[in-house]
Amino acid sequence: MPDCPPQRTGALWGRVSPPSDPPSRSSRPPRRPIIVIADDDRTARETLASILRAAAYDVDIVSDGQEAVERVARGNADLVLLDVMMPRLNGLEACRLIKGMTSEAFVPVLLVTGKTDPASRVEGLKIGADDYVCKPFEEGELLARVQAMLRIKRLHDDMQDARSRLERVSVHDELTGLYNYRYLHARLSQEFKRAERSHEPLGCGVVDVDRLRTWNERSGRTFGDTILRTLADLIRRCVREVDIVVRYGGDEFLVLMPSTHFAGAVSVAERIWKEMAARSWGPLADKDRVTLSMGIAAYPSPDVKTKEALLKSAEAALNRAKRDGMDRLCVYQQEGVVFSPALEGAAGAVAGAAQARRSKSDA
């Protein structure tokens, strides 16, 4: 069954929470490293545990490789010490499984082996072990190798955090947390192709803050940024989880609405317009309201057969709304009819106009 969102003609759907950055390691509460020890020899594992606990590490003890794999799967393991010779699942097999399921998180594995020949050590390193220590081990060497492995893990985790932040910045707007213009074109291509393939409608709306430059000059850039952030949050509350909200320009936002006809797209636009109109801005805007102009277009329609035409049509509708005095929405159709949500209801007007055109065509 294709992954298609539910159709919407006029109703609003569930809200989507704003995206948020994953916490960086510097902002996470500090915790002691957790080391998993797997050894079927009770004396050996208790000795290892005693040394590591004395060095301020938290230790989880298991008796074989299978238990070690299950413990790592539960998460929060920072290092695994595996005895090579164990029942059920030996250390080499356990290492292979652990490395296979933690390729992104990176949990280092240190083999504890009684074999001192080079061939045995090479075998362990080939299957993914990060280091080894030979029995009988010397306490200082053991702690040095453990510290080295944990240091490598910290560096790896910091790099992963930095990469996640960079990936987020590359597709999100810093001020509002919405997707940015770069993300839009990749996602628009996906949604338009799906709409064509599934013969589903695709609504598109462009929202513009009227006279944002004037607000910046009158009340300061901070107030202008507050307007943009408030509008971004408001739009999020008015759309479904499958809808895509993008910071389209300095004072413009774009909303892609899969499986949404004209009437449904206008219903969402009307909701955004009314909520913004009802918003109180305090003494910084006690004389004038902060208003919006909006343009709506949808696929399929006679003049919209490509994703470029969809964007162009929504922008044309927005420009018409701005020319006609702002504080309104314009629905792009062949006739270029403009509806104001301050009247009886834009969604109903669009549906009525469409029905009238169909009746005239049938006659």
Most confident range, picked from 14-23, 170-179, 290-299: 290-299
34, β-bridge pairs: 58
> Could you state, in order of their start, the residue ranges of all structural domains in the chain?
25-170, 181-362
CATH fold of the domain at 25-170: Rossmann fold (3.40.50)
Q: Is the pTM of this model over 0.85?
A: no
Alpha helices in the chain (DSSP H): 42-54, 65-73, 91-101, 118-126, 139-171, 181-198, 212-219, 221-237, 262-277, 307-323, 346-362
The answer to whether 25-170 and 181-362 have equal CATH topology is no
Cβ(235)–Cβ(12) below 8 Å: no
3-state DSSP call for residue 1?
Answer: coil
What span, in angstroms and rounded, lies between the C-alpha atoms of 248 and 204?
Answer: 12
Torsion angles phi and psi, residue 36, rounded to 5: -100, 130
Band (pLDDT 50/70/90 cuts) for residue 339 is low
Q: Is the pLDDT of residue 18 over 60?
A: no
- 197: DSSP letter: H
User: The dihedral of CA 6, 11, 15, 19: what is its sign?
Assistant: positive
pLDDT tens figures, 92-121: 899 999 988 865 788 999 998 876 667 766
**Over the stretch 299-330, which tens digit does the pLDDT of each residue have?**
998 888 899 999 999 999 999 899 988 988 88
Which has the higher per-residue pLDDT, 171 or 108?
Answer: 108
- We find that the CATH architecture of domain 181-362 is 2-Layer Sandwich (3.30)
β-bridge mates for residue 298, sequence order: 203
Token pair recorded at residue 166? 């960079």
As a whole number, mean pLDDT of residues 130-157 equals 90
3-state secondary structure (DSSP) of residue 257: strand
Distances (CA, A) of 186 to 2, 181, 363: 20, 9, 43
Q: How is residue 12 written in tokens?
A: 């609003």
